Chain A
């Protein structure tokens, strides 16, 4: 008889209930099982109606985020044995509208992600014949950690500022803006400044720092935001002193 652990999984079935409730399931407690394996066991063996997102099972796709005992986690990288003897409480990511069970609505994040234009912007593209844009290892290091973001939104779940006011641009979007701002090949910093320097941009952040602790990929959005505050403040002072200046 294998050992078991109880999972308390948040359920929200909009056609039959007004607010989320919890269902309990007993799943095998195996050393190599992550929370996601437990959820898959429920779906396959116990209750096929449970809804949740997942894809790669290896911490790259960023789709299996949920709160495990209140902490935002990737369920594929969070092991059941670390929570033994249980029970383990599994809830959808905080601060997002819930569509069903553990599935949240991503629209708001996707709109914000697009707003910061997270791609390389060039004033003028170099003709292909002239070859690639070269970059030194030191220039790569400037932004590399921010490029590790997998858009899993655990940082949004951890951020009380976003929870209080969903107009706030939020950690990942700003970190990704910085990923391109700090890239030596990019020339779009001015265009991103308008979005980032709004009150709902970097200025909404009060440096709680939870986003950086929640990140499963070692990105430091809190640091990115504070650093950008300095950039934005310097730009504002420059504009004040030299209103005629172009940049």
Chain B
């Protein structure tokens, strides 16, 4: 579990800032023209992109779930509900990963 957490943390650290700042801040603010739809589709349909993105989503979500589980417990003194909190957090991460798999390998 911890290997997934720290691996995910590293992936999130390296990958997410660039993507989110570009696609969530720079492009919506109009500082840079939105990428062409056909170009994005081509990049996303490349098999290696799909696999990498799925791995990135899975690792980041597991990382987030694991960390948030302990944040809730320590920050709000909820250690006695650990079982329930852990179940909810990890289920959410798995659901998100399943959605990512569906989007990347079925929808696209």
Chain A in direct contact with chain B (Cβ < 8 angstroms): yes
A interface residues with partner B (beta carbon < 8 Å): 160-161, 164-165, 203, 206, 229, 232-233, 237
Size of B's binding interface in residues, CB under 8 A: 8
Digitize B1-40: 1 where CB-to-A-CB distance is under 8 Å, 0 elsewhere.
Answer: 1110010000000000000000000000000000000000
Bound-state Cα–Cα, A203 to B74, Å = 14
CA A165 to CA B1, docked complex, whole Å: 21
Neighbouring A residues of B77 by C-beta, 8 Å: 164
- Chain B interface (Cβ < 8 Å from any Cβ of A): 1-3, 6, 70, 74, 77, 79
Q: Do B79 and A229 touch across chains, with their CB atoms under 8 A apart?
A: no
Q: Find chain B residues with CB under 8 A from A164 CB.
A: 74, 77, 79
Closest to A163 in B: B74
A237 and B74: CB pair below 8 A? no
A interface majority secondary structure:
helix
Give B3's nearest chain A residue, CB to CB. A233
Please, which residues of chain B bring their CB within 8 A of the CB of A161? Answer: 74
Contact A165 B79 (CB under 8 A): yes
Residues of A close to B70: CB separation below 8 A: 206
Tell me the bound Cα distance from A33 to B2 in angstroms. 47
Residue among B1, B74, B77, B79 with the most chain A CB within 10 A?
Answer: B74
Is A229's CB under 8 angstroms from B74's CB?
A: no
Closest to A203 in B: B2
Q: List 16 A-B contacts (CB under 8 A).
A: A160-B74, A161-B74, A164-B74, A164-B77, A164-B79, A165-B79, A203-B2, A206-B70, A206-B74, A229-B2, A229-B6, A232-B2, A233-B1, A233-B2, A233-B3, A237-B3
For B6, list chain A residues within 8 Å (CB).
Answer: 229
